[in-house]
Amino acid sequence: MTEPGVGMRVKDMPVADRPRERLLAGGPVALADRELLALLLGSGGKGVDAVELASRVIAHCGDLAELSRAEAHRLLAVPGVGPAKAARVCAAFHLVRRAQAEPPRPRITSSADLAAAAGPLLRGQARERLVVAVCDIRGSLLRLAVVSEGGDDHTAAPIRDILTTVLVSRGAAFGLAHNHPGGSLEPSPSDLAVTTQLLHAAETVGLRLLDHLVVTDTAWRRIELH
């Protein structure tokens, strides 16, 4: 039980009324604004539970939009909201603003997109490099990484390492690109073999190989997938 004079905490509510359990069962859309805010507050204040305190915080600011812009000192004016609660609420809304301010991720929807993304890591290099571009199911670029680097005419294509990089990055698809420092756009027999092996290996773990490119300082060429 909650001590006399202390607001009921979220975990002290009946299970069916707890915002956290309802969110986990039905997702955030199952909760009202005040219930989502109650999860951030964590507990109520003197004589009020967390949900009622959340309602008072929203009413104090006027609406949810105003609350999202409120500074911590403004929230401290609500009885029951201390520095920890005010800081959590302000931090949550500020994280949302930061996420919204980030530029959209580039998308890999064509061979040209892959060449544009991987080219800066490959051009002007004296040694061969292999770059993997990890994408989500919509083609948004999640990660761009050099997975191997070798000599002036060859670099290994470690299939297991490539697939692990994609899976660890939570990708659904990936593209490959490697450079030929000598300037030739002609795929080597090894390039062709690795492309075919990767195509089949990716399918076995539920991934999709989008493309494999050969890149030089002035051009690029797609290796045909078979």
**Structural domain spans, the chain:** 10-101, 111-222
CA-based nearest residue to 11, from 23, 21, 24: 21
Which CATH class for the 10-101 domain? mainly alpha
Per-residue pLDDT of the chain (226 residues; tens, 9 = 90+): 333 334 555 566 666 667 888 888 888 888 999 999 999 998 888 888 889 999 999 999 999 999 999 999 999 999 999 999 999 999 999 999 988 887 788 999 999 999 999 999 999 999 999 999 999 999 999 999 999 887 555 556 789 999 999 999 999 999 999 999 999 999 999 899 999 999 999 999 999 999 999 999 999 999 986 5
CATH hierarchy code of domain 111-222: 3.40.140.10
> Looking at residue 8, what is its pLDDT?
53
C-alpha distances out from residue 69 to 17, 62, 180, Å: 28, 11, 52
Task: Give pLDDT, residue 216.
Answer: 95
Distances (CA, A) of 82 to 13, 47, 156: 21, 15, 58
Q: What is the CA radius of gyration of the chain?
A: 26
Q: How far is CA 7 from CA 46, 58, 87, 158, 191, in A?
A: 5, 18, 19, 58, 67
Assign 210 to helix, strand or coil. Answer: strand
pLDDT at 169: 94
Half-sphere exposure (Cβ direction) of 130: Cα atoms closer than 13 Å: 23
pLDDT at residue 25, rounded to an integer = 86
What per-residue confidence (pLDDT) applies to 196?
92
User: What pairing do the DSSP bridges indicate for beta strands 129-135 and 208-215?
Assistant: unpaired
The pTM assigned to this predicted structure is 0.60
Say if 10-101 and 111-222 have the same CATH topology.
Answer: no
In whole angstroms, what is the distance from residue 191 CA to residue 109 CA? 22
Q: What is the model's pLDDT at position 93?
A: 94
Nearest to 157 by CA among 201, 110, 191, 208: 191
For the CA atoms of 158, 163, 166, 172, the dihedral, rounded to the nearest 10 degrees, stands at 140
